[in-house]
Amino acid sequence: MLKLSIITINKNNASGLQKTMESVFAQTSKDFEYIVIDGASTDESIRTIQQFNNSMTQRFRWLSEPDTGIYNAMNKGLKIAQGEYVQFLNSGDTLAAMDVTEKMLHQVSIVNYQLSIIYGNMLKPLPKGILCDRGFAGKQPTLLDFYNGTLNHSPAFIRRSLFDKYGLYDETLKIVSDWKWYLQAIIFGQEKIEYRDIDVTVFDMNGISTTNQQLDKNERKQVLASLLSPALLKDYEQWAFPVEQMKRLNKYWLTRKLVWWMERGLFKWEKWTR
């Protein structure tokens, strides 16, 4: 069995697709297949795909047909993927280096047990420089972590069989279905994830999840309402942000001491004014 299926979805983003495909075809590893799912693009995307059609020594498959959204396209890729693991590298995203797939597959091969999900770093080009997003950086995330954040999608190698266990992506959602799937697999299914400090992908900052933050917020709220009890959801809505504030304050010695003295002073004041 092939170790990995890299899946790219695209619609009318020929320039982004060109960058993505170039980074995949440049990989030193050959132990993967590459799948491109195009949503019946009307720009130069098909021509871009065809120019790579005969230049890959390993397996390369593609199709172009109408879809009903991002996750419909991703699910099409999952249904035909033959790799033990899958990686989603959407149009515009790129692999960070020529040998990154080789490095990550080596990490998969040297463990003597089956990994559910292994992930590395995602680089974000910002006006002031490159931000290295390490995700949870090796921590096994909690529900609170997912309430406020997520596990980055593009630098993750996900065992393909987990989609048989937890189902495919929810196609009724527009941009947070991968987050919902992670919730079901990692939080409720207790699948273990592992981290390697390897720069895996470069994220396209013009993607829909970056530019439509209000939709992201609304869909997350919808998902949490369907998965959590009303009482538990109410607690998270009330306390998630204050907890995050305290976590930031506790990172530094000075702020940690200030908070401690303020809390002790408040405790004594309340005790003597009752």
Over range 240-245, report the average pLDDT: 83
Tell me which of 80-94, 118-132, 201-215 is least confident.
Answer: 201-215
- The pLDDT score that the predictor gives to residue 240 is 82
**Whose CA is closest to 228, among 170, 171, 177, 187?**
187
Rounded to an integer, the average pLDDT of 143-148 is: 91
Mean pLDDT, residues 104-118? 90
Angle at 232 between CA 229 and CA 238, to 5 degrees: 135
Every domain of the chain and the residues it spans:
4-227, 236-272
Q: Transcribe 106-131 into DSSP letters.
A: HHHHTSSS--SEEEEEEEEEETTEEE
Residue 270: the pLDDT is 84
For residue 242, pLDDT over 90 is answered with no
Contact predicate 70/43, CB 8 Å? no
DSSP E strands in the chain: the ranges are 4-10, 32-38, 60-64, 85-88, 94-95, 117-126, 129-133, 156-159, 193-202
Q: Which residues pair with 129 in a beta bridge?
A: 126
pLDDT at 108: 94
CATH match of 4-227 with 3.40.50.620:
no
- Per-residue pLDDT reduced to its tens digit, 61-94: 999 999 999 999 999 999 999 999 999 999 999 9
- State the CB neighbour count (10 A cutoff) for residue 221: 13
Is the per-residue pLDDT at 20 higher than 80? yes
Average pLDDT over every residue of 255-271:
87
- Compute the average pLDDT of residues 146-173: 96
The number of beta carbons lying within 10 Å of the beta carbon of residue 171 is 16
pTM of the entire predicted model: 0.89
